[in-house]
Amino acid sequence: MNISFVKPRSELLPYIDKLFVVESRVGLPSDDRSIVAPNGCAKLVIPCVNSILSVIDGHTQVSRAQQMYFVGAMDCPALIQTASLRTIFITIVFAPQGAFQIFGVPMSDTSNRLWDTDDVFGSWSRDTRKRIRSLPTVAEKVAFIQEQLLVLLRRNRCRNSLVETCIDALRSSDGRIAIKELQRTTGHSWRYLDRVFQERVGLSPKALARIFRFQRFYRKWANGESFGRFRDELYDYYYDQAHFTREFRRMTGHSPANFVRDVPNEFGRRLVGFSSDSTAR
């Protein structure tokens, strides 16, 4: 299995966290759980060769080759698998506020679900999907979808400095900043912040804080650190180890000990830590 990360076009960099292509002669490894943990970001998935089976929040769906799919921001894990056949798919992971700014569709309508893009984006999806299908190479498909996203961005771009400021604060603190502190610094009520986050991110500020907190330790796992090495650090982010275990299970479906010992997840490991400003092919 080869995962190639592509640096998005410069105008898209603020709106896209990752863009990658997965290619395999035999599909995703059958002995790998291939868990995609929540990161607070919506995704656009384009299966070029072979279909993808996914399980999100108990719902099993098949993403068929030559179609296009949108995954709303999630606060639960996604499990993906493919048949043992040649497989190619393109994935664009948007920044938490990026998908709304490009598509202009309320993200609250898409959360924790996988959607056929025709059902969400209408004629834009149908026209884009048909053109992608006709292009002979993966590189051409990647270039074309970026061009189409730029067309939408130039038409729909609707930045919100309040949301961007709050997301930056949550991310830079790894989710430790209290929502009451966001209320104090922005001058807006919890109800207002929740409403604007649901529209533009698809998750509440509290849910996004939980995800950023979890991601701090998930990245450590991806980099090969054992949970035992940073147990003391947990108390700066969680009430106690039981709190951490509950949150980790919520994000992966497994306790930390079980995840490390019994859950092969090389696919998930390789996706962590890459972003649009990382070195990419």
- Given a contact cutoff of 8 angstroms between Cβ atoms, the answer to whether 26 and 84 are in contact is yes
Interval 175-217: pLDDT, tens: 999 999 999 999 999 999 999 999 999 999 999 999 999 999 9
Per-residue confidence (pLDDT) for residue 274, from 0 to 100: 58
Written as six digits, the tokens of 233 are: 């650090």
Cα–Cα distance, 104 to 155 (Å, whole number): 9
Query: Does residue 281 surpass a pLDDT of 70?
Result: no
pTM of the entire predicted model: 0.94
> How many other CB atoms sit within 10 Å of the CB of residue 233?
12
- CATH number of the domain at 2-156, please? 2.60.120.10
Per-residue confidence (pLDDT) for residue 260, from 0 to 100: 86
- Of the chain, the percentage scoring pLDDT greater than 90 comes to 83
Per-residue confidence (pLDDT) for residue 229, from 0 to 100: 75
Cα–Cα distance, 19 to 138 (Å, whole number): 13
Interval 102-149: pLDDT, tens: 999 999 999 999 999 999 999 999 999 999 999 999 999 999 999 999
CA-to-CA dists, residue 225 to 49, 218, 242, angstroms: 35, 10, 20
Written as six digits, the tokens of 185 are: 């610094």
